[in-house]
Copies of this chain bind each other. A is one copy, B any other.
Amino acid sequence: LTPAQQRARARRGEGPQLREEILDAAEALLVRTASEDAVSIRAVAEAVGVTPPSIYRHFEDKTHLLFEVCVRSFGRLADEVVAAEVPGDPIATLAAQARAYVRFGTEHPEHYRIMFMGNQELTPAQYAEELLTENSAFGRVVSTVREVLASGRARPEVVEAGELQASLLVWANVHGLTSLLVAKPNLPWPDRDATVEHLIDRCLHGILR
Protein backbone atom coordinates (compact mmCIF):
# COMPACT_ATOMS: atom_id res chain seq x y z
CA LEU A 1 0.00 0.00 0.00
CA THR A 2 3.00 2.31 -0.28
CA PRO A 3 2.84 4.25 -3.57
CA ALA A 4 0.01 3.85 -6.05
CA GLN A 5 0.38 6.49 -8.71
CA GLN A 6 -2.67 5.49 -10.71
CA ARG A 7 -5.56 3.24 -9.92
CA ALA A 8 -8.18 1.51 -12.02
CA ARG A 9 -11.65 2.90 -11.66
CA ALA A 10 -13.96 0.55 -9.75
CA ARG A 11 -16.81 -1.17 -11.58
CA ARG A 12 -20.43 -0.40 -10.82
CA GLY A 13 -21.12 -2.10 -7.50
CA GLU A 14 -17.52 -2.10 -6.35
CA GLY A 15 -17.33 1.42 -4.97
CA PRO A 16 -17.26 0.33 -1.31
CA GLN A 17 -14.01 -1.50 -1.98
CA LEU A 18 -12.18 1.82 -2.18
CA ARG A 19 -13.47 2.60 1.29
CA GLU A 20 -11.44 -0.26 2.71
CA GLU A 21 -8.39 0.75 0.73
CA ILE A 22 -8.68 4.27 2.10
CA LEU A 23 -8.79 2.96 5.65
CA ASP A 24 -5.81 0.70 4.98
CA ALA A 25 -3.85 3.57 3.49
CA ALA A 26 -4.69 5.90 6.36
CA GLU A 27 -3.53 3.28 8.82
CA ALA A 28 -0.37 2.48 6.87
CA LEU A 29 0.41 6.18 6.71
CA LEU A 30 -0.07 6.46 10.44
CA VAL A 31 2.28 3.56 11.08
CA ARG A 32 4.90 4.58 8.54
CA THR A 33 5.15 8.25 9.50
CA ALA A 34 4.45 7.66 13.20
CA SER A 35 2.63 10.96 13.20
CA GLU A 36 -1.04 11.70 13.29
CA ASP A 37 -0.48 15.00 11.51
CA ALA A 38 0.84 13.19 8.46
CA VAL A 39 -2.53 11.56 7.93
CA SER A 40 -4.13 14.24 5.79
CA ILE A 41 -6.91 13.77 3.29
CA ARG A 42 -4.49 14.63 0.53
CA ALA A 43 -1.81 12.24 1.68
CA VAL A 44 -4.29 9.40 2.04
CA ALA A 45 -5.71 10.10 -1.41
CA GLU A 46 -2.25 10.06 -2.94
CA ALA A 47 -1.29 6.83 -1.19
CA VAL A 48 -4.40 5.18 -2.56
CA GLY A 49 -3.87 6.58 -6.05
CA VAL A 50 -6.94 8.78 -6.16
CA THR A 51 -7.73 12.50 -5.98
CA PRO A 52 -8.71 14.12 -2.68
CA PRO A 53 -12.39 14.72 -3.47
CA SER A 54 -12.86 10.98 -3.93
CA ILE A 55 -12.40 10.50 -0.20
CA TYR A 56 -15.58 12.45 0.41
CA ARG A 57 -17.60 9.90 -1.51
CA HIS A 58 -16.77 7.42 1.25
CA PHE A 59 -16.33 9.49 4.39
CA GLU A 60 -18.26 12.51 5.56
CA ASP A 61 -15.12 14.34 6.60
CA LYS A 62 -11.66 13.85 8.01
CA THR A 63 -12.90 13.32 11.55
CA HIS A 64 -15.08 10.43 10.48
CA LEU A 65 -12.22 8.84 8.56
CA LEU A 66 -9.91 8.96 11.56
CA PHE A 67 -12.73 7.69 13.72
CA GLU A 68 -13.09 4.61 11.55
CA VAL A 69 -9.38 3.96 11.85
CA CYS A 70 -9.82 4.16 15.61
CA VAL A 71 -12.75 1.78 15.63
CA ARG A 72 -10.68 -0.83 13.83
CA SER A 73 -7.84 -0.39 16.30
CA PHE A 74 -10.13 -0.71 19.29
CA GLY A 75 -11.48 -3.89 17.80
CA ARG A 76 -8.02 -5.32 17.30
CA LEU A 77 -6.95 -4.48 20.83
CA ALA A 78 -10.09 -6.12 22.16
CA ASP A 79 -9.35 -9.21 20.08
CA GLU A 80 -5.89 -9.52 21.55
CA VAL A 81 -7.18 -9.07 25.06
CA VAL A 82 -9.79 -11.78 24.47
CA ALA A 83 -7.20 -14.09 22.95
CA ALA A 84 -5.15 -13.80 26.13
CA GLU A 85 -7.87 -15.39 28.26
CA VAL A 86 -6.94 -18.54 30.16
CA PRO A 87 -10.19 -20.49 30.65
CA GLY A 88 -10.99 -21.23 34.26
CA ASP A 89 -8.12 -19.18 35.69
CA PRO A 90 -9.13 -15.54 36.06
CA ILE A 91 -5.90 -14.57 37.80
CA ALA A 92 -3.70 -15.99 35.05
CA THR A 93 -6.08 -14.37 32.59
CA LEU A 94 -5.66 -10.97 34.20
CA ALA A 95 -1.89 -11.23 34.00
CA ALA A 96 -1.98 -12.41 30.39
CA GLN A 97 -4.39 -9.63 29.43
CA ALA A 98 -2.11 -7.08 31.01
CA ARG A 99 0.82 -8.42 29.00
CA ALA A 100 -1.24 -8.36 25.81
CA TYR A 101 -2.33 -4.80 26.48
CA VAL A 102 1.19 -3.46 26.99
CA ARG A 103 2.39 -5.38 23.96
CA PHE A 104 -0.32 -3.90 21.77
CA GLY A 105 0.57 -0.39 22.90
CA THR A 106 4.29 -0.73 22.37
CA GLU A 107 3.90 -2.46 19.03
CA HIS A 108 1.39 0.07 17.73
CA PRO A 109 2.44 3.27 19.45
CA GLU A 110 0.72 5.66 17.06
CA HIS A 111 -2.52 3.73 17.25
CA TYR A 112 -2.24 3.73 21.00
CA ARG A 113 -1.55 7.43 21.01
CA ILE A 114 -4.67 8.22 19.04
CA MET A 115 -6.82 5.81 20.99
CA PHE A 116 -5.86 6.74 24.53
CA MET A 117 -3.63 9.79 24.55
CA GLY A 118 -5.12 12.23 22.06
CA ASN A 119 -7.71 14.91 22.46
CA GLN A 120 -11.08 13.29 22.69
CA GLU A 121 -12.77 15.57 20.19
CA LEU A 122 -11.06 13.66 17.45
CA THR A 123 -13.88 11.18 17.50
CA PRO A 124 -17.67 11.37 17.50
CA ALA A 125 -19.44 11.34 20.82
CA GLN A 126 -20.77 7.80 20.49
CA TYR A 127 -17.26 6.55 20.86
CA ALA A 128 -16.93 7.42 24.55
CA GLU A 129 -19.66 4.93 25.32
CA GLU A 130 -18.39 2.28 22.94
CA LEU A 131 -15.09 2.38 24.72
CA LEU A 132 -16.63 0.92 27.85
CA THR A 133 -18.78 -1.66 26.12
CA GLU A 134 -18.83 -5.29 27.15
CA ASN A 135 -16.87 -6.16 24.02
CA SER A 136 -14.16 -3.55 24.46
CA ALA A 137 -10.74 -4.26 25.89
CA PHE A 138 -11.69 -2.51 29.09
CA GLY A 139 -14.99 -4.40 29.18
CA ARG A 140 -13.09 -7.68 29.04
CA VAL A 141 -10.84 -6.61 31.89
CA VAL A 142 -13.90 -5.72 33.94
CA SER A 143 -15.24 -9.24 33.29
CA THR A 144 -11.99 -10.82 34.38
CA VAL A 145 -11.84 -8.67 37.49
CA ARG A 146 -15.42 -9.66 38.28
CA GLU A 147 -14.39 -13.32 38.15
CA VAL A 148 -11.39 -12.65 40.36
CA LEU A 149 -13.56 -10.90 42.93
CA ALA A 150 -16.09 -13.74 42.78
CA SER A 151 -13.38 -16.36 43.26
CA GLY A 152 -12.93 -15.33 46.87
CA ARG A 153 -9.22 -14.73 46.41
CA ALA A 154 -9.41 -10.95 46.48
CA ARG A 155 -8.80 -8.81 49.55
CA PRO A 156 -11.99 -7.73 51.30
CA GLU A 157 -11.30 -4.01 50.86
CA VAL A 158 -10.94 -4.53 47.12
CA VAL A 159 -14.19 -6.47 46.97
CA GLU A 160 -15.86 -3.73 48.93
CA ALA A 161 -14.60 -0.99 46.62
CA GLY A 162 -16.29 -2.75 43.74
CA GLU A 163 -15.36 -4.19 40.38
CA LEU A 164 -15.19 -0.81 38.67
CA GLN A 165 -12.60 0.54 41.09
CA ALA A 166 -10.59 -2.66 40.88
CA SER A 167 -10.72 -2.61 37.10
CA LEU A 168 -9.67 1.01 36.98
CA LEU A 169 -6.75 0.07 39.19
CA VAL A 170 -5.61 -2.53 36.71
CA TRP A 171 -6.22 -0.24 33.77
CA ALA A 172 -4.33 2.63 35.36
CA ASN A 173 -1.38 0.30 35.91
CA VAL A 174 -1.11 -1.11 32.42
CA HIS A 175 -2.09 2.11 30.69
CA GLY A 176 0.33 4.06 32.84
CA LEU A 177 3.26 1.93 31.84
CA THR A 178 2.18 1.68 28.23
CA SER A 179 1.64 5.38 27.74
CA LEU A 180 4.93 6.27 29.37
CA LEU A 181 6.71 3.93 26.99
CA VAL A 182 4.81 5.37 24.05
CA ALA A 183 5.26 9.02 25.02
CA LYS A 184 8.91 8.82 26.06
CA PRO A 185 10.48 6.01 24.03
CA ASN A 186 13.93 7.53 24.37
CA LEU A 187 14.20 7.56 28.14
CA PRO A 188 16.58 4.99 29.60
CA TRP A 189 13.90 2.50 30.64
CA PRO A 190 14.87 -0.76 32.28
CA ASP A 191 14.09 -4.00 30.45
CA ARG A 192 10.53 -3.82 29.27
CA ASP A 193 9.45 -7.39 29.94
CA ALA A 194 10.90 -7.40 33.43
CA THR A 195 9.12 -4.13 34.16
CA VAL A 196 5.83 -5.50 32.90
CA GLU A 197 6.14 -8.64 35.00
CA HIS A 198 7.06 -6.67 38.08
CA LEU A 199 4.14 -4.32 37.55
CA ILE A 200 1.66 -7.16 37.12
CA ASP A 201 3.10 -8.93 40.12
CA ARG A 202 2.77 -5.93 42.41
CA CYS A 203 -0.66 -5.05 41.08
CA LEU A 204 -1.94 -8.55 41.79
CA HIS A 205 -0.37 -8.49 45.27
CA GLY A 206 -2.31 -5.32 45.96
CA ILE A 207 -5.54 -6.98 44.92
CA LEU A 208 -5.26 -10.56 46.17
CA ARG A 209 -5.22 -11.70 49.78
A203 to B172, CA, bound (A): 11
Copies of this protein, total: 2
Smallest Cβ-Cβ distance to A186: which chain B residue: B128
Known pairs A176-B174, A202-B169; A187 contacts B116 (CB<8 A): no
Beta-carbon contact of B183 and A118 below 8 Å: yes
Beta-carbon contact of B183 and A120 below 8 Å: yes
Is A159 positioned at the interface, with any CB of B under 8 Å from its CB? no
Partner of A199, one of B128, B172, B185, B190: B172
Among the stretches A53-61, A143-151, A160-168, the one at the interface with B is A160-168
Is A117 positioned at the interface, with any CB of B under 8 Å from its CB? yes
Beta-carbon contact of A183 and B131 below 8 Å: no
Smallest Cβ-Cβ distance to A121: which chain B residue: B35
> Shortest distance in angstroms between A77's beta carbon and chain B's nearest beta carbon?
15
Is A179 positioned at the interface, with any CB of B under 8 Å from its CB? yes
> Shortest distance in angstroms between A117's beta carbon and chain B's nearest beta carbon?
5
10 contacts between A and B (CB under 8 A): A117-B117, A119-B183, A120-B183, A120-B186, A131-B184, A164-B190, A165-B198, A169-B198, A175-B180, A176-B176
